[in-house]
Amino acid sequence: MISAGIDIGAGTTKALLFDPDRGVLARASVRTRPDLEGTAREALAAVCSAGGISPQEVGYIATTGYGRYQVPERDIQITEVTCHARGARRLFPATRCILDIGAQSSRAVRIDDRGRVVRFKMNDRCAAGAGKFLERVSRALDIPLEELPAVALRSKDPQPISSICAVLAESEVINHISQGKPVEDILMGAHLSIADRVLSLLRQVGGGEGEVTLTGGLAQNPAMLQALEQRLGRPLNRSSESPFAGSLGAALLGQQRLVRRIAGAPA
Amino acid sequence: MTMYVAGADVGSTTAKVVILDRNGEIAGTSLGPTGASIVEAAQRRFREAIEKAGIDEHEIEFVVGTGYGRFKIPFGDTQITEISCHARGAHRLFPATRTIVDIGGQDTKAISVDGQGEVVDFCMNDKCAAGTGRFLEAAALTLGLPLEEIGPVSLRAARPLRITNVCTVFVESEIMSHLVRGEKMEDILRGVHNAIGVRSIALLRRVGISEEVTFTGGVSRNAGMVRALEDQLGIRVNVSPLSQYIGAIGAALFALERARGPKATVVSEEST
């Protein structure tokens, strides 16, 4: 029976269908609207249509992310920490640490060799070290968000951004521009600033060794990957499925419960 | 011959210049946006204040620069921190002041002063936009209201909402979701002002709150913010129509001391 994982994030809502025999059937993502319930339904409809199934065929719905409590159809809600850990381990079985960088929060999770969460640390109080920081910079520089990574990767001499606060960094970026600093150097500086914040979370969970897997929306950003690897001094795991790691974890955990429910259900 | 001095306070958002005559009376003032060039903003305000005072530039004997852009003021004879200048300026307008809360465009300061207007202790937040004017700007922008209207609108609140986010970036989404739920603008705005009040008072507690409390900086012009602070403190706060100029007034008072001679110098100058 098919399970669905819906990860209702602050920026994007991701949905994924998992079939025990065929693996991942489909993925879909939609922009999160203030109406979280409606957004989750929209994502579920999109993923069912992508997978060529009807929503009635979904046997179990597990939700995660910031809006996980807002879906009345859910069978269970699971924290992002657990779901990202599970999803990342499925993508990269030797993963020992997960770095999840989303639009409004970032977290570092350390797991043991059996995939159990040992420690985690998150920042969801402040936009520093999250995708919103780049949105601010994009606005200040008047460059579309999706074009930022390509521009940043041209940098030869990254410009340090000393403000931690995303709002104050915006003013700093404007100052750099007025001083004639190259846009690519400012942008790479912004990516490095996020990297520094996120890697401090990683240090706090004791992520000194072992494979580190990048998940969340910013995993798609190649400049972010370069900034993280440069500051960490070693490569990170990342795949095109990284942004879906949370929904994958939710669907897998949902699948486990589904199996248990079927096995334990009265005839 | 008449002698004049000037204080120039170049903040992150606005630049202020005050000219005092030899008796310490205000002869001219000017205020305008700082914009991208601190040098130009300072010069423009300086020229305008001179013009308003109806004097010649060479009649100004001493200029003290303060504020975030103080080291870039081209005509400054020396620089003194905004902490000392705000203390001195607030003491001048309200001699019984012992505590100052200065909420500017990008930072917030709490200062405790003695009976002579000397700084006893201070505490500031310049690391994060929470609790500063930027937080109010973000709220105004999200609600589509001019910045100067949000204070008065917040005063109409019947059921103030609690704003739970500290981060200025996140508060924008929180305001949006309140709007989606059909909450009233005034209730949201009162919540926003209260949230800044909470942050400011936490800062004030670190230096100790003793009466009288004077509210300075650009945000002190916002009646909603004055109300939020008074409600939470449970006392009245001093606010002057000149409150935005308090840093510049303090700087000009220091300039007057310098111009009159070294004997009255009490504050150590900063080195560039």
Q: What pLDDT, in 10s, does the model give residues B31-53?
A: 999 887 888 999 999 999 999 99
Answer positive or negative: Cα dihedral of B45, B49, B52, B54: negative
pLDDT of residue B270: 58
Instruction: Kindly identify which residue of chain B lies nearest to residue A180, measuring between CA atoms.
Output: B36
CB contact under 8 A, A132 and B169: yes
Can you state the percent helix, strand and coil of chain B, rounding each to 5? 45, 20, 35
pLDDT of residue A178: 79
pLDDT at A121 over 70: yes
CB contacts < 8 Å between A and B, how many? 52
Show the CA angle centred on residue A80, arms to residues A78 and A85, nearest 5°: 100
CB contact under 8 A, B37 and A125: no
CB contact under 8 A, A127 and B177: no
A197 in reach of chain B (CB within 8 A): no
CB contact under 8 A, B129 and A168: yes
pLDDT of residue A180: 87
Instruction: Kindly identify which residue of chain A lies nearest to residue B13, measuring between CA atoms.
Output: A171
Q: Which of residues 52-111 of A touch B (CB under 8 A)?
A: 104
pLDDT of residue B272: 42
Nearest chain B CA: its distance from A181 CA (Å): 14
pLDDT tens figures, A185-234: 999 999 999 999 999 999 999 987 899 999 999 999 999 999 999 999 99
Which positions in chain B have a beta carbon within 8 angstroms of at least one beta carbon in chain A? 12, 36-37, 106, 127-130, 134, 138, 166-170, 173, 176-177, 180
CATH architecture observed for domain A1-92+241-267: 2-Layer Sandwich (3.30)
Cβ neighbours of A132 in B, within 8 Å: 169-170
Cβ neighbours of A105 in B, within 8 Å: none
Read off the amino acid at residue B170: F
Alpha-carbon distance of A129 to A54, in angstroms, equals 39
pLDDT of residue A266: 54
CB contact under 8 A, A171 and B180: no
Average pLDDT over chain B, rounded to an integer: 91
A127 in reach of chain B (CB within 8 A): yes
CB contact under 8 A, A171 and B173: no
Cβ neighbours of B176 in A, within 8 Å: 34
Answer positive or negative: Cα dihedral of A145, A149, A151, A157: positive
- A238: closest CA among A211, A219, A217, A210? A219
What global pTM score does this model have?
0.79
Nearest chain A CA: its distance from B240 CA (Å): 28
CB contact under 8 A, A165 and B128: yes
CATH fold for the domain made of A99-238: Nucleotidyltransferase; domain 5 (3.30.420)
Nearest chain B CA: its distance from A179 CA (Å): 9
Average pLDDT over chain A, rounded to an integer: 93
Burial code (b: 16+ CB inside 10 Å, e: under 16) for B207-232 equals bebeebbbbbbbbbbbbbbbbbbbee
Instruction: Kindly identify which residue of chain A lies nearest to residue B175, measuring between CA atoms.
Output: A34
Residue A241: count other Cβ atoms within 10 Å of its Cβ.
Answer: 18
Cβ neighbours of A163 in B, within 8 Å: 127
Cβ neighbours of B168 in A, within 8 Å: 127, 165-167
Cβ neighbours of A126 in B, within 8 Å: 128, 166-167, 169-170
pLDDT at A265 over 70: no
ipTM above 0.90, yes or no: no
- A248: closest CA among A5, A79, A81, A60? A5
pLDDT tens figures, A61-81: 999 998 999 999 999 999 999
Cβ neighbours of A174 in B, within 8 Å: 36
Q: Which two tokens stand for residue A40?
A: 């989750």
- Closest partner residue to B134 (CB to CB) among A127, A133, A167 is A167
CB A67 within 8 A of CB A84: no
DSSP chain A: -EEEEEEE-SSEEEEEEEETTTEEEEEEEEEPPS-HHHHHHHHHHHHHHHHT--GGGEEEEEEESTTGGG-TT-SEE--HHHHHHHHHHHHSTTEEEEEEE-SS-EEEEEE-TTS-EEEEEEE-SSSTTSHHHHHHHHHHHT--GGGHHHHHTT-SSPPP----SHHHHHHHHHHHHHTT--HHHHHHHHHHHHHHHHHHHHHHTT-SSSEEEEESGGGG-HHHHHHHHHHHTS--B--TTGGGHHHHHHHHHHHHHHHHHHHHS--
pLDDT of residue B267: 52
pLDDT at A54 over 90: yes
pLDDT tens figures, B202-233: 999 999 999 999 999 889 999 999 999 999 99
For chain A, give every residue range classified as CATH 3.30.420.40.
1-92+241-267, 99-238
DSSP B198-248: HHHHHHHHHH---SSEEEESGGGG-HHHHHHHHHHHTS-EE--TTGGGHHH
CB A71 within 8 A of CB A8: yes
pLDDT at B264 over 50: no
Nearest chain B CA: its distance from A169 CA (Å): 10
pLDDT tens figures, B86-126: 999 999 999 999 999 999 888 899 999 999 999 999 999 88
- A136: closest CA among A104, A103, A166, A105? A166
Cβ neighbours of B141 in A, within 8 Å: none
pLDDT of residue A267: 42
Cβ neighbours of B175 in A, within 8 Å: none
CB contact under 8 A, B36 and A174: yes
Cβ neighbours of B173 in A, within 8 Å: 10, 34, 104
CB contact under 8 A, B173 and A167: no
Give backbone dihedrals phi and psi of A205, rounded to 5 degrees, phi first: -95, 5
pLDDT of residue A208: 79
Which residue's structure tokens are 């704003």? B163
Cβ neighbours of A180 in B, within 8 Å: none
Burial code (b: 16+ CB inside 10 Å, e: under 16) for B3-17 equals ebbbbbbbbbbbbbb
A136 in reach of chain B (CB within 8 A): yes
Answer positive or negative: Cα dihedral of A173, B193, B199, B34: positive
A178 in reach of chain B (CB within 8 A): yes
CB A141 within 8 A of CB A171: no
Read off the amino acid at residue B268: S
**Per-residue confidence band for B271, with pLDDT thresholds at 50, 70 and 90:** very low
pLDDT of residue A179: 82
Task: Give the domains, in start order, of chain B with CATH numbers.
Answer: 1-94+241-272 (3.30.420.40), 97-239 (3.30.420.40)
The DSSP symbol for B117 reads S
